A and B are shown apart, each in its own frame.
Chain A
């Protein structure tokens, strides 16, 4: 039983994808890393961070949601697209409060790792310094909305994998924020520390308590290898 292959191109290179795959998935199998933040294997793609935006036959599309189609020409690693990606990463940094030096997630943070991969040392946009809340009510997990990039990974993981509805978004526009399925706070929800949603966060917004420095800074995932290298060096 051989699955039908779909041939298309990324930056001129011939790729073979499978029916039902997204551009991002097919690229990954071919050892091409398309930068992303809100994507997480196993959950419904959200398509919200827009970092994986590529050009498909000249039109911007998110690689994490766009299915592969025979003969399409995808642009990924171009100067134009890289510029837009850097701008999006910059936007995410300034719209929240990201203090990498104090953050437990430092070194394992996908946003920080992407910034390093793109050579961003400081964002070019002015910091917005929004007021954001903390929720440390749960014995095992805390939420720090200062870092939340509204990627939806926790929301979707709770639904798709844990079979719960612990998280959802409330509000809209710049006021949009993460909310939990309880009148009061995270302690009032049915989340458990073993839930996949508790480890779905790409940044330091949802953190498991009591294991912050189990691996010292300097020896963490992206301290050693840049993000994406695990795909590129497959």
Chain B
């Protein structure tokens, strides 16, 4: 029965195994799951070993072999959502649907799951229902949603009030709000479309690279690699086909700024990517759009179509002979690691999102072995603006070493969560007062892969040589338990590790378990050294940025909130407080059919 659908979908993508992500995401949506028979059919159609197809499917949390309900409810369980009552929302769903998280209703209508940050921390608690985003959930709203779904309502019909700006566009029809709280000179500025692109094609690629060097633009994803240099490397790399990729997979918990750019300024992004194509000599452009933002896909595709019609994409762009460039959207399927550029490339190639061995670097051999430049959404937008207004203009914004503006996604304990475009150099204190944060105990700068800092560091500035960040800022007030928050973030990393290398796969589990013991009051003083040494080994030995930063929730709180740990751990008295004799005996007791005489809790 599925044969027809499968062969049809595979042939839509020319039975090309490098388009496996498109094939399996499309089929997963149509079939509700991809079972063993379907895997065989896909393997046959694309000429892949079946285990490779299975490998891809098993990697992404939005894909599954088991058939799920017609509607899959994914409740966001991010720290910020939990702070705003996500746990109660989950109880309402479980109660109304009569199932636990991870289960499907008996009639096969609804599956209930949890998912990490979906990029809606400014309107939490939120949920992803199929591809529809439901925001600012209250218990009453959750009850209504659950009842509607039980009654067979389609996910799209859950959207009652539309959000602002393009969220209300017919092709989006989303209840998401932009929440742009502060506009700056670069991204959210008054401007005319395509002025940068028109200026670019009057110049040589070399002189554009020079402009970028003058602007001192550095990557906005967090790592801060100079954009001009990256593009120069990619341009000069050997290879006829080159690729420009936009990393729109913002998965760092607490980040949602790219969502707003994609909604309101997608043409600025496309313009920047097209300039990128011109500079490095690439004809292929890909936007890797995180699966959570699938609700924007049709809208973005329409915008791309309009650009093709206006000759802003395609052959001989704007009449420039030989300047050919086009962009396709690659949808992700729920994997944080795919924000890492080489994992993202693996995913674009239809594989599991494992990072690649470096060298070769993407600039030498990236997407399908072609020289590839991967840049952040915000970086491309900045490029377009630099071409419009000049490198010198840009270099004068912000600080000497970190020019330009930075979009910050601010959420958590503040009155005005949303996206803020600040000039680089803004201090944490300024940011807190502008976002209406009071009684702040800690600030997460750069998401869990960044740092959790305390009051002593609030005079520090957001810039590449002080607090570098991709833009996720979460505020915690004095009522919050910092160690529990760190634990939730460690849970996230355990869940999102790709499992390729030992330290990240095994080490994060050990870190999480030890912190959990401490939080439960079963820790001892020696645990602090254990955490520090283990964390350092994970940082030192891990293969990619995920593992190299995943111990940060622990290491930064050990540094900045040591007293919180010390208040919980007990002196080492030779006994292991984490050992629970009753728990250890429970298996044997079950077999025996009676309680231990000596260690009976009720003894």
List chain A positions with a Cβ less than 8 A from chain B: 45, 47-51, 53, 60, 62, 65-67, 83-84, 87-88, 91-92, 94-95, 125-126, 128, 149-150, 165, 167-176, 179-183
A173, B496: Cβ atoms closer than 8 Å = yes
A53: chain B residues at CB < 8 Å are 540-541
Known: A91-B503, A95-B502, A174-B497. 9 other contacts (CB 8 A): A47-B501, A65-B358, A168-B54, A172-B352, A176-B500, A181-B51, A182-B51, A183-B36, A183-B40
Q: Is the CB of B506 within 8 A of A168?
A: no
* Of the residues B337, B501, B508, contact of A50 by C-beta under 8 Å: B501
Interchain residue pairs A-B with the least CB separation, the first 6: A176-B499, A165-B49, A91-B506, A170-B58, A181-B51, A95-B506
Which residue of chain A is the closest to B337 with respect to CB atoms? A172
Give Cα A26 to B475, complex, Å. 50
Interface of chain B, main secondary structure: helix
Task: Say whether, besides A48-B543, A179-B54, A183-B36, A173 and B494 are in contact (CB < 8 Å).
Answer: yes
Residue B537, interface by CB 8 Å: yes
Given A165-B51, A165-B52, A181-B50, CB of A49 within 8 Å of CB of B501 = yes
Q: How many residues of B contact A (CB 8 A)?
A: 42
B106 to chain A, nearest CB (A): 27
**Alpha-carbon distance between A175 and B335 when the two chains are bound, in angstroms:** 14
Residues of B within 8 A of A128 (CB): 509
Task: Kindly state the separation between the CA atoms of A176 and B505 in the bound complex, as whole angstroms.
Answer: 9
A88 touches B502 (CB 8 A): yes
**Does B171 sit within 8 A of A, measured CB to CB?**
no
Report whether A168 and B509 are in contact in the complex, using a CB–CB cutoff of 8 Å: no
Residue B167 lies at the interface, judged by CB distance under 8 Å to chain A: no
Which B residues are in CB contact (< 8 Å) with A94?
506, 510
The verdict on B357 contacting chain A, using a C-beta distance below 8 Å, is yes
B495 touches A (CB below 8 Å):
yes
Other-chain residue from B51, B337, B494, B498 in contact with A180 (beta carbon distance below 8 A):
B51
Contact flags B555-588 to A (C-beta < 8 A → 1, else 0) = 0000000000000000000000000000000000
Task: Choose among A45, A60, A126, A172 the residue that contacts B541 (Cβ–Cβ < 8 A).
Answer: A60
- Asked whether A170 and B54 contact (CB < 8 A) given A88-B503, A91-B507, A95-B509, the answer is yes
Contact string against A for B residues 13-53, beta-carbon threshold 8 Å, 1 for contact and 0 otherwise: 00000000000000000000000100110000000011110
Scoring B337, B358, B503, B542 by chain A CB atoms within 10 A of each residue's CB, the highest score goes to B503
Give Cα distance in the complex from A94 to B513, angstroms: 13
Residues of B within 8 A of A45 (CB): 357
B439 at the interface (CB under 8 A from A): no
Across the interface, name the chain A residue whose C-beta is closest to B57.
Answer: A170
Shortest Cβ distance from residue B497 to the other chain A in the assembled complex, whole angstroms: 4
Q: Are A179 and B357 in contact (CB under 8 A)?
A: no
Quick one: closest B residue to A47, CB to CB? B357
CA distance A150 to B498 in the complex (A): 12
**Does B359 have its Cβ within 8 Å of any Cβ on chain A?**
yes
| Contact sample, A vs B, 22 pairs, CB 8 Å cutoff | A49-B502, A50-B542, A50-B543, A62-B543, A67-B359, A88-B541, A91-B507, A95-B505, A95-B506, A95-B509, A126-B513, A167-B51, A168-B49, A168-B55, A170-B54, A170-B59, A171-B499, A172-B352, A173-B499, A176-B498, A181-B51, A182-B51
Per the bound structure, the CA–CA distance linking A92 and B541 in Å amounts to 13
Hey, what's the 0/1 contact readout for B327-366 against A, CB within 8 Å counting as 1? Answer: 0000000010100000000000000100001110000000
